[in-house]
């Protein structure tokens, strides 16, 4: 079924019901509120942070309204195995990107839909290494988080159970943890809402944009920005890859990508000339995506067609690599305007020397691994990034952070942030599980504060 254009123009969540994303053609009840009815929480953004927080707050009895800029899709009917129409899921609005290493924005790091990027993410749900929560104190780089890893372990358990995450019986890295709910998979070869509290959950680009664009006489530098750090310390994750051809058929498109993962270089600190770490994992690009990657090598026409004939024999390894927080990497407001007359974002990004050393180490290591597996015609994909974090960091000091450990603004007590923008550091794993765990923690802390009369 082709994508319905109506979802882009007419809200599907209306008249007391919303799409049931788990059942074709189904609907689920949805509570609605009158415009003059005050609610407890307004959440702007429904991705991994906003949606998780909305769920947990509603379960505690709070009244919640959530807003999203994107459509409410029915993934089972509209996107299965259709690469072209999947482009509707991404945030492809115009942004200006500059710096020494301008970022590519879109499918690799964003989502524009009810559910945000969780609508299309591959559900790689990895925990942060415990030391990363105190990486400045324990590892000598980055910034310490204002939360303890043991507390986060509890919320990781909660999210993994809720999402029925699959994994090995004994995870080979880090401290002991509960068993995953499921065993490992087989490997393949704008509204007016009265609210007592507002939660911004637009992720690392749109969250600072919304805060900065909301500047007024009382907050001339933008909301929650007394520290001057809103929009600063943007962190991506490096996403370089090596590719090769195997004699055997691989057919990596059969099943999700990233079914085989190693965190060796996240937990091994010896024999590295850089701070931080990276995970590396198998890859399974779909045909159109693979053709686009080959275009990046300069292959077109006959040469592209000849290379595509090897598609079923292609194998690849790709990293999710840590980059360091730098204030020069930032999100600011541009002079150009969007379709609503509001400033678009300018995204400035440059790798530091440490980032470059990590990338070089990973490419060398993965190339050796692919050669050992019998890979031939090996080449490197060096210009790719993924996952956006930082820009509204959490901390213990209002002078050096935007929100506290609960995601609560230091400047405006009824303004909260719940997404990857609060990360002080980014780690070398996909961030979604940590975003969801932080959302569960924030929901729990809101309940505790409410019981004390401290909201």
> Looking at the annotation, which residues are catalytic?
387
Q: How far apart are the first and last CA of the chain?
A: 46
Q: Taking a C-beta distance cutoff of 8 angstroms, is the pair 227, 398 a contact? A: yes
Least Cα distance to 92 among 107, 102, 73, 75 occurs for 107
CB-CB neighbours of 148 under 10 Å: 12
Least Cα distance to 413 among 196, 221, 193 occurs for 196
Tokens 């924030």 belong to which residue?
442
**How far is the C-alpha of 110 from the C-alpha of 419, rounded, in Å?**
12
Task: Give how far Cα 261 sits from Cα of 71, 115, 169, Å.
Answer: 32, 25, 15
CB-CB neighbours of 52 under 10 Å: 28
Query: What's the per-residue H, E or C state across 66-86?
Result: EECCCECCCHHHHCCCCHHHH
**How far is the C-alpha of 56 from the C-alpha of 427, rounded, in Å?**
26
Least Cα distance to 317 among 399, 409, 242 occurs for 242
Torsions phi, psi for 363 (to 5 deg): -65, -40
CB-CB neighbours of 96 under 10 Å: 15
Name the strand (E) or helix (H) holding 388.
strand 385-389
Q: Taking a C-beta distance cutoff of 8 angstroms, is the pair 251, 312 a contact? A: yes
């Amino acid at each position: 079924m082709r994508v319905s254009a109506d979802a882009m123009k007419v809200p599907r969540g209306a008249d007391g019901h919303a799409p049931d994303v788990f059942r074709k053609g189904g609907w689920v009840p949805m509570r609605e509120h009158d415009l003059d009815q005050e609610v407890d929480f307004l959440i702007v953004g429904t991705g991994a942070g906003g949606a998780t927080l909305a769920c947990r707050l509603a379960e505690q009895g709070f009244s919640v309204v959530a807003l999203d800029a994107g459509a409410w899709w029915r993934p089972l009917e509209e996107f299965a195995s259709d690469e072209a129409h999947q482009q509707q899921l991404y945030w492809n609005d115009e942004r200006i990107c500059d710096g020494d290493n301008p970022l590519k924005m879109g499918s690799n790091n964003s989502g524009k839909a009810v559910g945000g990027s969780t609508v299309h993410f591959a559900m790689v749900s990895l925990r942060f290494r415990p030391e990363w929560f105190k990486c400045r104190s324990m590892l000598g780089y980055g910034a310490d988080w204002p939360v303890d890893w043991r507390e986060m372990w509890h919320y990781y358990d909660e999210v993994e159970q809720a999402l029925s995450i699959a994994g090995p019986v004994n995870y080979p890295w880090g401290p002991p943890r509960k068993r995953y709910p499921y065993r490992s998979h087989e490997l393949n070869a704008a509204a007016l809402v009265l609210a007592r509290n507002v939660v911004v959950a637009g992720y690392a680009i749109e969250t600072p944009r919304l805060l900065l664009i909301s500047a007024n006489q009382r907050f001339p530098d933008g909301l929650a920005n007394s520290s001057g750090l809103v929009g600063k310390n943007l962190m991506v994750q490096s996403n370089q890859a090596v590719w090769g051809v195997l004699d055997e058929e691989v057919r990596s498109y059969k099943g999700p990508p990233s079914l085989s993962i190693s965190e060796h270089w996240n937990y091994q600190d010896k024999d590295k000339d850089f701070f931080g770490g990276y995970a590396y994992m198998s890859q399974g690009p779909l045909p159109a995506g693979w053709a686009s990657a080959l275009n990046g090598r300069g292959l077109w026409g006959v040469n592209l067609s000849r290379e595509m004939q090897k598609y079923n024999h292609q194998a690849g390894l790709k990293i999710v690599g840590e980059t360091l927080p730098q204030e020069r990497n930032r999100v600011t407001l541009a002079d150009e305007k969007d379709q609503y007359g509001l400033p678009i974002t300018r995204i400035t990004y440059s790798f530091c020397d440490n980032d470059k050393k990590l990338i070089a180490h990973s490419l060398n290591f993965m190339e050796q691994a692919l050669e050992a597996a019998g890979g031939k015609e090996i080449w490197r994909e060096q210009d790719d990034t993924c996952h956006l974090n930082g820009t509204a960091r959490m901390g213990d000091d209002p002078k050096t952070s935007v929100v506290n450990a609960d995601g609560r603004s230091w400047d405006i007590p009824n303004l909260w942030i719940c997404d990857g923008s609060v990360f002080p550091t980014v780690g070398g794993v996909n961030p979604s599980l940590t975003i969801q765990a932080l959302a569960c923690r924030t929901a729990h802390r809101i309940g505790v504060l409410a019981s004390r009369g401290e909201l």
